[in-house]
Amino acid sequence: GAVVSQHPSWVICKSGTSVKIECRSLDFQATTMFWYRQFPKQSLMLMATSNEGSKATYEQGVEKDKFLINHASLTLSTLTVTSAHPEDSSFYICSATPWSSYNEQFFGPGTRLTVL
């Protein structure tokens, strides 16, 4: 149980294009989903927290117009990187907290984004 999937697992795009990453909780409903960014050999950096049906809460320094988050259902959240640039290249990971859980987070496998 508590499986989280991400799609795609990797993506290469040209500078200036937009990329959408999907995060799904496969066997549970998620009250909250989180989006992280991770640079090589570093810890996870929280970008935003999203609750189903409401606007995401972004961490300080994260541009909400650049990283659009939509949490349309209890099992799906999407992160869209708009007008991507090479500096947006990174490993993006989502996590989800089950409805039945207090604060456990289960992570997806991550999406490797490379912007040329």
Partner 1 sequence: GENVEQHPSTLSVQEGDSAVIKCTYSDSASNYFPWYKQELGKGPQLIIDIRSNVGEKKDQRIAVTLNKTAKHFSLHITETQPEDSAVYFCAATPDRGSTLGRLYFGRGTQLTVWP
Site residues (CB under 8 A) for partner 1?
A: 4, 6, 32, 34, 42-44, 46, 49, 93, 95, 97, 102-110, 112
**Smallest distance from the beta carbon of 80 to partner 1, in angstroms?**
20
Query: Rounded CA gap, 22 and 80, in Å?
Result: 9
Minimum CB distance to partner 1 smaller for 108 or for 113: 108
Cβ closer to partner 1: 17 or 76? 76
In the bound complex, what is the minimum distance in angstroms from residue 16's beta carbon to partner 1?
27
